[in-house]
Chain A
């Protein structure tokens, strides 16, 4: 898909690559995401995530200045690590556009850090903001963390399932996946585990300088001992596959858990691996979903839903919309195969040109929907003008039913084809 080159982006849809990497590091317990860049980049991302997750964000920055940039900036990294090492179990260092432009050699930095700070496991990742998006940053950080923290397969754990989750699986959904696996008598290790760290819980300590929850380093060390690997979200397919191959264990990939067949496959897999029949609860939830879909499908007939965001996100929502008979049009934040892409201004034109009835995307997309009187469902990142996005579960039978109710309600609130009142001029002459 080609897009005429624009010299100015109007209201970006894309979130930056370093923010994705930082978010992934927050899914590792005790990790401090250290931004190698100017403090502004960190601050912006921090505000964005605080508004979205409604949680403090333990981001640190190497706080490059004009002078340190000239000097290469390496000293800033050592100084930062020196200052935060007491608070961290491990570090995730990610670069920004400034550091990259400056030619930071992160591989060498990693070696230096492990020499200087032997007790502090550190993963580094190159994530210039001038390319990629939140999703690609997430994947890069995951790859780096696996390379740095995971261990070779040692003691097989028959009941352990390793789950590699993409960035658009909400903390609530991560918890749901974990519960589902446990329901089958299996043990789950989710990597990265945003559920444990960002679901929003009040804890004993009143201040955490690092990720307060997430996959522990010990758990990451046992990932290779798992009986099988599940990946969710197409962004995670490749890393999960490679990791499973390297460890000699089977892997099963799910593009999303937002359509009936994928969910069926998910529970069938858990049934096979555990030898347990589907719990009554699951059977009933599926029955409910079927009923809910039949009830709600009217609202989707002939309707067009435009979904805007990163690849995983538009894929899962597109599938959900098609599953109930709506026309789904995906709009990517970055160039992505045949998919149309661009900023929010482009998306606005795209939605208009296609007569969109329903927009699906983050709070910026919601503003756009309000502006043009279209129905909207908020999802993705950031959602700052609603509560509950972090905890929302729109996967699985029950979650999918909820998703359809949300969308149907949105469409009901703004009926797309409501007749326009017509006043007859001739009839007016009666009085």
Chain B
């Protein structure tokens, strides 16, 4: 056994993970030698940027994914958590980032579902148990309400009740506050403190520095899959934590960008007072206004889930905005369908390459012409011309370095980097003037990332206007002429290239006013 920690078998440690490592099939090292301990009755915050590996760690402890290396100890005993059931039995309760409640069922039915109640469903017994726990914690909730009728804050309460009913005494909450309003957050913290008093240990995953400071007993910072440090709120402050989260960055990293061609700039895209609702009906984009010029890369910085997705979907015609205007070359294109926006010269590299970017079960050629198959020579609008499609795709594959035996190979046989090349190739296939790139390098290896960056810079120099929406601050600083920081659906501030200040931007991204 590799344990060298003296207090290892201390009664106070309820959960200890040692040397956890997880490499995803695409090569991303999401957890690298992660070691941390959680004491009985403490609130332990795990703080880190998007992609730091927090959710991966949670999923490993919850038994949802298998680590490549490392050990987990619960109450001093080494355990093998190979599925979520085992975690539950060990008293580990997880509230995932994405809720797993069934909307059409009531609160009580949802909770009953997750309990091992044998063959016969005794709702009365479940009700008694819930009432017992909820009164203990002073949690109010209508047990007969259907989940779909409840606001997000209350749904979360149901999730917490659900894991408590499974007799969890180690509670893991993955980004629980990201869906809550400030008032709900206060109420939520009250519940956490209550739980703590009752002896529960709580792991609170968050990327919000302020929250971690205000609620937790100890804070562990993760960055790029590694644990950087564990400290108590008393011995640190916002400034230091922010630094630890984003890491050391050289300012020289982002001055190499050649000056854009400032002359003959024209406004390609003008967005005014745009309001867009999210999937849950909450306002996700709030009064956003900006303009995108030709020959520039305009970066949008922000932690995922702050309205970027909804903004992009409104711009590309995939989501109906509530109000505002989107003007492309003098015409208001709000409420236009994707097809007319494509015709207007809008290209889009989606983050979700597999779900939205390509059709995995269709060939490279079919994907390559997905946006232009109704044009000459690929078809005469009615009948497809397979030969010219194949010829075209062969040339495209050569030009963009897409490696595959032939154009009729299904896309699912390609690597992530090749799929990204294919998407870029397709998006450049119809002389678009505006390109929206959504986290274009997420999950790509170094080579593919470099290719993508070069491509974007090349397009910029050719006069394209590029909206680069990215959760990767390094990427934004390296590539963009201007950066808008988005937080909670609003544009917080605009930075010109000569004003870039990584800490200011990072703090704004985390919702800390400068």
**Chains A and B belong together in one complex:** no
Listed in ascending order, the chain A residues whose CB lies under 8 Å from chain B are none
